[in-house]
Amino acid sequence: MGLLRKILRTQPTPTADGAFSPSALAIKLGTSSTTDYDGGAYPSRYTGSKNRVLMICTEQRNMTMANGKKFSTGNHPVEMGLPMLHLMNAGFEIDIVTPTGAPVAIEMWAMPADDADIQKLYRDYESAFQNPGSLADFVSKSMTDDAPYAAIFIPGGHGAMLGLPDSADLGKVLHWAHNTNFHTLALCHGPAALLAAKSDAGFLYAGYKITVFPDSVDKQTPMIGYLPGPMPWWVCEKLRAQGVEIINKKADNSVHVDRRLVTGASPQAANNFGRLAAETLLKRTEANS
């Protein structure tokens, strides 16, 4: 079996820190050197006072799978980058935080090497990714009713499952965003982090409809070496248990808005999600200006 996996290039690739990144075949099938970014043009940019988006990223690199092997993950560069481009082109500024202020973990193996827009974005934001703000500091100092925010954004990548779903600080931010009437944006595995909004009073998003990366696909990807083993837990299963309705069945380009929650299903949805998020924020912030 090991020889066959080697011939088919389905063996996960070892990393220097003892984890595994996806196999050569999984990289070929699951990533692209370019994106479907549509240029992010908007008839008018937002110019009001609620012009900031708080992007909450993971700082954790390795996910321990059910078999004990570690998957080298983080935030997916396309799922983070395309929405950033759309939001900035629509007139919003991005503030980047991680739970403690440690550098943003990024799935560099998924970086689209031939996409000029994404490459420029990551050059421009290199320092911000290496030196983000602290979510803990944000909670203690910046959660005010008059804060200049239009939304919070949780990008995808399996890394969104690490630390964020159990973060008391993230739970406070999600409730604050909800109570302050601005939007929450979450893409692919990003909705896993919404689990931080559980409380004794119930789950903040119970009864919501969302799009999210399907458990059925995560169960299949170890066969091609994308993951080095079965997932430690299942995102859709956990969300459904909290009363969330998942409306997509495939890892496709579907996106959805339910009240002030904007979601997208997979990396294929990153451009659609970015445009929907930007247009949704433009409509709401301009109406409230």
Residues known to be catalytic: 188
Token pair recorded at residue 265 = 């299903």
Q: In DSSP terms, which residues pair with 75 in a beta bridge?
A: 106
Distance of alpha carbon 289 from alpha carbon 264, whole angstroms:
27
Distance of alpha carbon 75 from alpha carbon 5, whole angstroms:
27
Distance of alpha carbon 90 from alpha carbon 178, whole angstroms:
22
Distance of alpha carbon 199 from alpha carbon 22, whole angstroms:
36
Cα 88 → chain centroid? 17
Distance of alpha carbon 68 from alpha carbon 16, whole angstroms:
17
Q: Which residues contact 53 (CB under 8 A, 6 or more apart)?
A: 87, 92, 93, 94, 95, 149, 150, 151, 152, 153, 185, 281
